[in-house]
Structure 1
């Protein structure tokens, strides 16, 4: 069946009013208190809809944008949209009607507006893929290429289902890598915060008590008091310096591709964490290339799409070099070997896939293997860090406590 929808209307689409999320409480026709939320542009629309349902409204308020009233379109929203559209099209619902049904089911105003914009573009004569290309922030090259291939082959539902599965696996992989990076940072941050609190608030209480001892304090206690005085006098400089450093690093990575490349290269050489980032990049490359190539996209174009799917500038540059080599007639596995970046196992499996004429299937196996490797390494890192973090925090906090009680213990022994 032909799934490329072009409607012979060329009028300028009218601008949709901005949607908001409304919270309401009230009573139903049986007198029972109920509450819920509604997505609408105007308060009157919510009142009209609830009145139609026989609900007596007691309270109705719009959620502030500062607290997520409109929501933000994220990868999971795009994944859910792809699955819903695949289901509707498979059921024989026309694309334009499917857009409207899916939009009505969405509870996030920002996502509903996005789908309504897509519906307007399709109603104005654009194809599904053309409408998606107008929103590159939310729909990447892989998504639009897959949809375009599905339109051409009359298999739009299958392509949308593949996109959704791909997004689901990639987001799962990203979550594992984030867990590996955020867990130690969060725990160490809490440790530093507790230590700073002790130095700024607790140690000064002991210091005033020690002032009346009239005896020389132990070296460890004097060092702790000196640290406490420094923390009290300069904590805002330290905090401001850290914030400034973070801001400078962020701006430098946004403005300088060379600096970003060096930072990503440095991260790949970190112990344990670098290996996790490395293997996750290999898995994302393989999964993206397999999905795109399987959709009938030429290998050179599929490699360009894959280069934008990895979050590492090091791998992005390597994949673009592979694309250049493949476009010049070199086989994929040789081009991968030339980068000195991909694991031997990955290049061997790609070589077998090329020989057997099943490159997409072999690339999917490569992705499955390295996703499992990443999962195991994240679990191992968490297990390794837990006792290490306990030791570090115990040493930091315990050292402060001991240094404060040491003069009291010495005074007790002297008595």
Structure 2
């Protein structure tokens, strides 16, 4: 017989196998692959599915250790399987599920762990896990819509640059040879296009180096500079159409995250501290920190939200109604649903608007180059 099992060391595994009536001949540590660990990365979708499965099993009365063993046994992704086996081993060793998840902070962020801790304390872990699964599914859907909204403008720019580069590198030089045989003076617009073609052919390596270096330099600085992140996030919020989508998305994520944490029994001030990092925008993150500080000294949530001057009147009013009625989580869920629908509609409208604009923009770029190349021919025909 051969097999694999998670254990802290070989001696403990031998003892466990003997207890099960198995006398092992060789027990050795499984070697790691040469180039990183095998299997694809554990995605947020994987965690959402795992949360739903675990909640269903706990509701059905399956002990948590056995539930983790069943779920882990059915995984095809080795990384996810190893993580679930690690969780099971830690819980078998006496750790709470909150403590076991704390060893995997990338997959289980602070929000997730705090919700699980609240669910464990209140004895409603299965309900909390079900809520987390729904939350993660909605947030991932929202992220997908935001990426779709940003993808179209980026596509227009990239395609226009590629088409222009192809024309300048392969097409314009052919026309340039023909124009030389004319010996006539070329129009200024044609000279400009030829000069651009010659520059691209001579210094393509420099342009490529600047583009690659600039991209990596920007990403490096953006990831390590909070000031730059805040500046870029603030600028994105001011971009027409896209900025409004980002505003609505940040409000939706704020409302859904706060509603989920508050419903799980996390105190409001602590919940706001967790929520700040889940908005997806540093402008809103700073605003939520201000709201948390105001609530901590006695302000009502809706009043603190008004102070930051970022949330629409409808959001603050619904929050006020929820606070007065003792149904804050319910109202915030409604706010989240409304703004998620707004994002969905805005992304669909943006897609419909940009499709013809992409064609017009690329057609305009190609048309200008074609006109520039044919102008000398038109002049020659007129002279004849």
| TM-score using structure 1 length | 0.83
Q: Is the helix fraction higher in 1 or 2?
A: 2
Q: Does 1:403 align with 2:372?
A: yes
Alignment equivalent of 2:129, drawn from 160, 167, 178? 160
Please name the residue that 2:305 is paired with: 336
| Residue 278 of structure 1, CA deviation | 1.0
Greater Cα offset, 236-245 or 388-397: 236-245
Confirm or deny that 1:202 pairs with 2:171.
yes
2:273 to 304, 309, 318: 304
- Cα displacement string for residues 354-395 of structure 1 (whole angstroms, at most 9, x for unaligned residues): 111100000001101111111111122222222222222111
Structure 2's unaligned 5+ residue stretches are 1-5, 11-29
Q: Does 1:179 align with 2:148?
A: yes
Pick one of 97, 112, 132 that aligns with 1:128.
97
Q: 3-state SS of the aligned residue for 2:182?
A: coil
CA contact (8 A) 1:290 1:360 kept: yes
- Higher mean alpha-carbon deviation, 138-147 vs 356-365, is at 138-147
Mark the runs of 5 or more structure 1 residues left unpaired by the alignment: 1-10, 16-40, 43-61
| Structure 2 residue 8 is the aligned partner of structure 1 residue 13 | yes
- 1:34-57: per-residue Cα shift (whole Å, max 9, x none)? xxxxxxx79xxxxxxxxxxxxxxx
* C-alpha distance in 2 between matches for 1:343 and 1:65: 50
1:102 paired to 2:71:
yes
Q: Compute the displacement of 1:308 (Å).
A: 1.4
CA offset at residue 65 of structure 1?
A: 6.3
| Deviation, structure 1 residue 183 | 1.5
- Cα drift, residue 286 of structure 1: 0.3
| Whole-angstrom CA distance in 2 between matches of 1:202 and 1:246 | 28
SS in 2 for 1:93: coil
Structure 2 contact 7–89 (Cα < 8 Å) conserved: no
- Which residue of 1 is the match for residue 53 of structure 2? 84
Q: Distance in 2 between matches of 1:213 and 1:227?
A: 21
What's the Cα RMSD here? 2.0
Could you tell me which residue of structure 2 aligns to residue 363 of structure 1? 332
CA offset digits 1:236-271 (Å, max 9, x no partner): 222221222222222222222122111111111111
Say whether the 8 Å CA contact 1:12–1:124 is kept in structure 2: no
Question: SS at the partner of 2:181?
Answer: coil
Matched, 1:287 2:256: yes
* Aligned positions of 1:254-269 closer than 5 A: 254-269=223-238
- How much does 1:184 deviate? 1.4
Q: Does 1:224 align with 2:225?
A: no
Question: How far, CA to CA, are the matches of 1:307 and 1:280 in structure 2?
Answer: 14
Residues 136-145 or 292-301, more deviating: 136-145
SS in 2 for 1:139: coil
